[in-house]
């Protein structure tokens, strides 16, 4: 809204000579352009905003093997105030955000990125790309076309995918099976999480002796109920055992969510159970040790802010059935897992990772676990 201001002009009584009156009037006309003496030059045309003469574009056009979360970048002919890049993979627009720094625009997809083997095309969003003067982008908008890399499967036998409620799981790769509802752009994170988990286990065990177990990944509650049971815990199933309705024909790890950030650590925890079973030949080790070792290796469950003990004596939780029943309540769950982790960590602090390997080998040969482990260190 414009504001009107009232001014009271003071009255000055002064006589102006007639000879000066005409001079003043002519000057006023000249100042207003009425005398033809103003600037008649044409307005300056803004310099066009286009791609740089030799634009730096990433990924380069024709790239095969771009990352699953590809950052697309281009350089403009001058500094940008705002920019937009559109990324389409397998015919679907990828959600993300474009930022600018000087003349460089960068688009980064929202996690979890795009699917393996996706065919992608990136273009400049011309209407959203402007310089500081507001000049809109002009010229060709095509940036780059590229192919996302394939999944690096962790190994394992490509078995027949299991089913639930009449629907078969889908093989993401090898023996990694996902519920059909799991979006393809989540598959790389799952498979990469398996690779990361195996590396965590190797830091303690060295070369792994166990075969890659089946990995089943659920999206829905009904899938989790069927494969992991009503508690919907991530779980390791030994051959011919079950937690829900599914009877595992071989070593199987079940993840009840495809995109939980802790999944690589959960996998490392579960793979540790598989390795213990393999190294002992299936012979018994106490549940508190098996769970404490898995928690120590994986850092899952997280014990950073957990204080106090979950039980007065871990040795009361010798059987896995006792462990599962006792750790049902959330507070007891964390305290007991972390108590077992602390005990195993103290033991490894004295014996080293080699001590774990030697202990499991001794159990396999029929020696007493208690005799090889020795006295508890944190009870």
Mean pLDDT of 47-65: 94
Residue 48 backbone class (left: φ over 0; alpha: ψ -120 to 50; beta: rest): beta
Expressed in angstroms, the distance from the first to the final Cα of the chain is: 77
DSSP class of residue 285 equals -
Give me the phi and psi of 96, to 5 degrees please: 180, -170
pLDDT at res. 34: 45
Architecture of domain 64-148: Sandwich (2.60)
Q: Is the pLDDT of residue 254 over 50?
A: yes
d(CA 212, CA 207): 13
Per-residue confidence band for 111, with pLDDT thresholds at 50, 70 and 90: confident
Q: Please provide the average confidence, as pLDDT, over all residues in the chain.
A: 89
Model confidence pLDDT, tens digit, residues 314-353: 999 999 999 999 999 998 999 999 999 999 999 999 999 9
**b/e map 40-71, b = 16+ CB within 10 Å:** eeeeeeeeebbbeeebebbbeeebeebebbbe
Per-residue confidence band for 165, with pLDDT thresholds at 50, 70 and 90: very high
Which stretches does DSSP call E strand in 194-304? 214-217, 235-237, 252-255
pLDDT at res. 205: 98
Do 144 and 101 meet the contact criterion of CB atoms below 8 Å apart? Answer: no
The angle at the Cα of 49, spanning 46 to 52, to the nearest 5 degrees, equals: 135
Q: Is the pLDDT of residue 264 over 80?
A: yes
Q: How far is CA 171 from the centre of its chain?
A: 21
d(CA 222, CA 237): 18
pLDDT at res. 26: 32
> Considering the entire predicted model, what is its pTM?
0.81
pLDDT at res. 21: 35
Per-residue confidence band for 39, with pLDDT thresholds at 50, 70 and 90: low
In this structure, the number of other CB atoms found within 10 A of the CB of residue 107 comes to: 22
Which residue has tokens 């000087």?
A: 102
Architecture of domain 169-373: Orthogonal Bundle (1.10)
pLDDT at res. 48: 94
Quote the percentage of the chain above a pLDDT of 70: 88
Q: Is the pLDDT of residue 5 over 70?
A: no
Quote the percentage of the chain above a pLDDT of 90: 81
The closest alpha carbon to 103, from 126, 127, 130, belongs to 130
Mean pLDDT of 252-261: 94
Do 243 and 227 meet the contact criterion of CB atoms below 8 Å apart? Answer: yes
Rg (CA), the chain: 35
Model confidence pLDDT, tens digit, residues 195-217: 999 999 999 999 999 999 999 99
Q: Is the pLDDT of residue 135 over 60?
A: yes
pLDDT at res. 40: 59
Per-residue confidence band for 155, with pLDDT thresholds at 50, 70 and 90: confident
Q: Is the pLDDT of residue 93 over 60?
A: yes
pLDDT at res. 41: 60
> CATH 1.10.390 spans which residues of the chain?
169-373
Which stretches does DSSP call E strand in the chain? 64-66, 72-75, 85-89, 92-93, 96-101, 104-109, 119-124, 142-148, 163-164, 167-168, 170-173, 176-178, 214-217, 235-237, 252-255
The closest alpha carbon to 375, from 356, 349, 347, belongs to 347
Burial class (CB in 10 A: 0-12, 13-18, 19+), 317: buried
Mean pLDDT of 222-240: 95
> CATH 2.60.40 spans which residues of the chain?
64-148
């Amino acid at each position: 809204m414009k504001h009107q201001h009232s001014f009271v002009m003071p009255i000055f009584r002064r006589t102006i000579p007639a000879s000066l009156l005409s001079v003043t009037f002519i000057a006023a006309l000249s100042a207003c352009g009425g005398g033809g003496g103003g600037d008649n030059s044409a307005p300056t045309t803004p310099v066009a905003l286009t791609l740089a003469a030799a634009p730096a574009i990433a990924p380069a056009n024709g790239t095969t093997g771009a990352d699953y979360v590809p950052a697309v970048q281009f350089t403009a002919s001058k500094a940008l105030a705002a920019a937009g890049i559109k990324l389409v993979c397998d015919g679907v627009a990828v959600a993300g955000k474009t930022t600018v720094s000087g003349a460089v625009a960068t688009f980064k997809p929202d996690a979890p990125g795009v699917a393996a083997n996706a065919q992608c095309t990136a273009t400049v969003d011309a209407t959203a790309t402007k310089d500081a003067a507001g000049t809109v982008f002009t010229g060709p908008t095509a940036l780059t076309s590229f192919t996302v890399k394939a999944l690096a499967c962790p190994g394992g036998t490509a078995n027949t995918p299991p089913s639930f409620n009449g629907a078969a799981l889908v093989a993401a790769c090898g023996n990694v099976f996902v519920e059909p509802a799991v979006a393809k752009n989540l598959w790389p994170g799952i498979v990469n999480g398996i690779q990361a988990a195996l590396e965590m286990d190797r830091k303690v065990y060295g070369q792994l002796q166990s075969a890659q177990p089946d990995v089943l990944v659920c999206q829905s509650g009904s899938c989790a109920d069927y494969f992991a049971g009503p508690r919907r815990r991530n779980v390791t199933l030994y051959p011919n055992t079950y937690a829900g309705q599914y009877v595992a024909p071989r070593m199987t790890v079940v993840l009840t969510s495809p995109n939980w950030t802790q999944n690589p650590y959960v996998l490392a925890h579960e793979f540790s159970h598989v390795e213990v079973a393999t190294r002992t030949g299936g012979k018994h080790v106490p549940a508190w040790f098996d769970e404490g070792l898995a928690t120590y290796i994986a850092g899952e469950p997280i014990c950073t802010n957990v204080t106090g003990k979950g039980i007065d004596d871990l040795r009361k939780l010798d059987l896995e059935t006792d462990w599962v029943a006792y750790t049902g309540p959330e507070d007891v769950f964390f305290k007991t897992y972390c108590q077992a982790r602390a005990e195993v960590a103290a033991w490894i602090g004295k014996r080293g990772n080699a001590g774990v390997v030697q202990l499991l080998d001794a159990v396999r040969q029929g020696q007493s676990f208690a005799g090889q482990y020795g006295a508890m260190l944190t009870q």
